[in-house]
Amino acid sequence: ETGVTQSPTHLIKTRGQQVTLRCSSQSGHNTVSWYQQALGQGPQFIFQYYREEENGRGNFPPRFSGLQFPNYSSELNVNALELDDSALYLCASSRLAVSSYNEQFFGPGTRLTVL
């Protein structure tokens, strides 16, 4: 069983640029969530996709957008990058169930640096 993978591992961008981060979910999982983790803090929920539809969003501006594809892989897009967007971006996949609180499986993350 393949785990959650993310690409790229590291990325350096400048203010105002746009970035796309990619995530391949674990086999059999239909839900992908994205989190932003600033240095020294816990991960913060950005949004979640379930069966290609956004299924909840955290307190992030619209310049953070996403997609989920039929194979359940996902992209996180960030437009008009700001210095504060520098962080570790984590993708987590799970099998969303109706009646339980499911374990999420995290990828290794993409370290984004905005200069």
Partner 1 sequence: LAKTTQPISMDSYEGQEVNITCSHNNIATNDYITWYQQFPSQGPRFIIQGYKTKVTNEVASLFIPADRKSSTLSLPRVSLSDTAVYYCLVGGKAAGNKLTFGGGTRVLVKP
Q: Decide if residue 27 touches partner 1 (CB under 8 A).
A: no
Nearer to partner 1, 19 or 47 (CB): 47
Q: Decide if residue 96 touches partner 1 (CB under 8 A).
A: yes
Nearer to partner 1, 12 or 80 (CB): 12
Site for partner 1 in 63-92 (CB under 8 A): 88, 90-92
Cα dist. 12→21, 72, 108 in Å? 12, 26, 17
**CB 70 → partner 1: shortest distance, Å?**
20
Among 11, 20, 45, 52, binds partner 1 (CB under 8 A): 45
H, E, C per residue of 9-68:
CEEEECCCCCEEEEEECCCCCCEEEEEEECCCCCCEEEEEEECCEEEEECCCCCCEEEEE
Q: Which residues bind partner 1 (CB under 8 A)?
A: 4, 31, 33, 35, 41-45, 48, 55-56, 58, 88, 90-92, 94, 96, 98-109, 111
